[in-house]
Structures are given as C-alpha cells and as structure tokens.
Amino acid sequence: MKGSFFMGPRHTPGFEIREMTMPEPGAHDVLVKNMACGVCGTDIHIYHGEKGSAEVTPPVVLGHEYSGIVEKIGDKVTTLRPGDRVAIDPNRYCGICRPCRMGRKQNCQNLYALGVNTNGGFAEYSIVPEAQCYKINDDIDFDVAAMAEPLSCVIHGIDQADIRPGQTVAVIGGGAIGLLMVQMAKLSGASVVVLSEPISLRRQIGLEVGADFSVDPFTEDIQEKMAQYTGRTGADVVIECVGRPNAAQQALQLADMGATVLLFGVPPVDAAIPLPLFDVFSKELRIIGSRINPDTHQRAVGLISSGKLEIRKLITHTFRLEQLEQALHMQMSSDSIKVIVHPHD
C-alpha cells in the first residue's frame, strides 16, 4: 500500500510517497480502504509549520476529513462488517482530563487526531478505531461523505451561535466552511443570510446554496448593502469563517444589538484585534469561539443522508495521492472551494 507522508514544513518536497506495510487492525479497530480525503485548512496550517488542532511529528500521513470502505475488522468489533461504507471522525479524547470530565471534550488536554498525530486519510488504507467510524448509505458519494468531518465542526459552531427563527445572519468568508454555514443558518430558521466574500465564484455558489444576497467586502460597503436589503446595518448573528484579523473586525462591526459573534475561522496563534469595549457593553454582544466537533459527527452523517444540504457543488477539484502537494496549493488558491484527494485513483 502507498501513503503520502508529510516530511515537515522545511522539507522539499513537503510530501513523499512511500510503500507501507499493510496494517492489521487491533481488537477494537477496523482496516479502512480510504476512498476520498478532503484538504482542510488545518492541513495547510501544518504544511506551513503553524499550529494545528494537535501537535504534529513528521513523517506522518495527514488527512483527517475522509471516508472509505471497511476492509477488515478486529476480533471485538461488533457494529461494523467488511464492505460497510464509513465516514471517519478523526478526533479522540482522553475522557479523564478536567475539560473532558466537565463535558468539554473539545478542549481535551490530550486530544489525539487521526491524520494529525497518527496516519490518516492520505494513504490507500488506514487503521481506525471502531468508535470513530460512522456508517453511510450506499448511495452517498465518497467525496460527499468525506465532508462529514467539516460539516460536524460547522454543526458545533451553529450550536454555539444559537440562531433563532427569523433572525438575520451574516457569514464572513465563502470557502467550504462558510458555504456550509450559509446552508446551516437557513436550516436553523434564519430569515435572511448574507455572505461576505471577495471571490466572485464563491459569492455565486453562495447564492446558489441559499444566501439571500452577497457582498464583496473589498469593493462594496456591506453595511450599506445590508440596509438596502434588510433596513438594518447589522445582523443578529455574525459568523466569521476566515481566521484573519480583518474578518474578525468586520464581524464585530456587523454585530447588531444583542448579537452573537461566532469566531469560527482558525487564526494564527498570535493574531489579535482591538476590541471595541463600549460596543460590547452597549450592544450586549456575545462573542464566542468554536472548536472541532464534540458529539456532532452522527448529526453530520444524518444531514448528508437527508439530502438537505448542497455539498457536491462545493467540491471543485480532485487530485490523485501523488499530487497531494498540488492539492494543497489548489486549496490555498482562489480558484477552489473544496479540494478532495482520491488515494486509489
């Protein structure tokens, strides 16, 4: 079997295809034939030597947004059989640290992720604990199923945002996450959803998947355009999906009275912005973060199975395993929305 190993941020090339010994599943594990694996912003952070969701020690097979087919099961596996199609939840928690015991596993002090700390989806096969595998219907495309992991993170963010029926929601950033947020805001009952995104392709797709109107923040005044469409210059919920200081500042500017501002994008470790303290006080703003996907993966699989989300439209490019570094560069490009790698093509 082949795997594409991340060699480190200062290594050229950044990835190396290696022959790997076919692993044997442990008693509670399964061997998965990896069929599709998405390129995530976290992979890009890791590629550049920035902090990801957990510490990375090269050489390692990255890829934590993936789906596949169960090839072989361990002796004590009871819920899966060879041939089952599965979407993978990569995040594992210790269950014994204080955050875990306080019901905040997303803040686990010993978080361990497939495709980050240990070999994941950018290989032909992987070993996955039974508990991390979620069955998907046979009619679900593997590329779409691989989106269960980012969707599960979005669901946690939507839970944090606490959207109420009839509210106005502004989404800043029209990448794959932002376009999932647009759709989830609509499903949550938002009466108006506006997308702020400078790239025309993403604005267009945003309108196709549910945004009521879109704005180019570099050439248009978003508050003026919101006033034209809604009679207000702000939103009840603002969801920032970029991870850059200017996007976070825009999110705060768009927050109306009593608004919730969800800072969802993953910023650089040292990123900071001035906080308008009087606005926080006078508007009674609620500013909140969102980290990974605690107990939301099953809901993501359920939503994908329901067909209520437009996911295929977000997948703009696919690459072979040998083209992984090209895939990462495409994911960084303004020409893409979501890039998927096929380990067996």
Q: Is the pLDDT of residue 54 over 70?
A: no
Q: In a 10 Å sphere around its CB, with 0-12 CB exposed, 13-18 middle and 19+ buried, how is residue 257 labelled?
A: exposed
Q: What is the pLDDT of residues 222-263, one digit of tens each?
A: 999 999 999 999 999 999 999 999 999 999 999 999 999 999
Residue type, 61: V
Q: Which domains does the chain carry? A: 2-147+311-342 (3.90.180.10), 154-289 (3.40.50.720)
> CA separation (Å) from 305 to 34, 147, 170?
20, 12, 27
DSSP state of 115: T
245-254 vs 222-230: helix axis angle to the nearest 10? 30
**333-341 mean pLDDT:** 97
Tell me the pLDDT of the chain averaged across its residues: 96
Identified catalytic residue from 12, 21, 28, 45:
45
pLDDT for the residue 55? 78
Identified catalytic residue from 21, 42, 260, 297:
42
Q: For residue 102, give every residue at least 6 positions away whose Cβ sits within 8 Å of its Cβ, in sequence order, or none.
A: none
Q: Is the pLDDT of residue 206 over 70?
A: yes
- Residue 90 preceded by cis peptide, ω within 30: no
Q: Is the pLDDT of residue 52 over 60?
A: no
Residue 45 designated active-site: yes
pTM of the model: 0.97
Q: What is the pLDDT of residues 100-118, one digit of tens each?
A: 999 999 999 999 999 999 9
Element (H, E) at 253: helix 245-254
- Alpha-carbon distance of 83 to 69, in angstroms, equals 6
Phi-psi region of 203 (alpha: psi -120 to 50; beta: other; left: phi over 0): alpha
Q: What is the pLDDT of residues 69-99, one digit of tens each?
A: 999 999 999 999 999 999 999 999 999 999 9
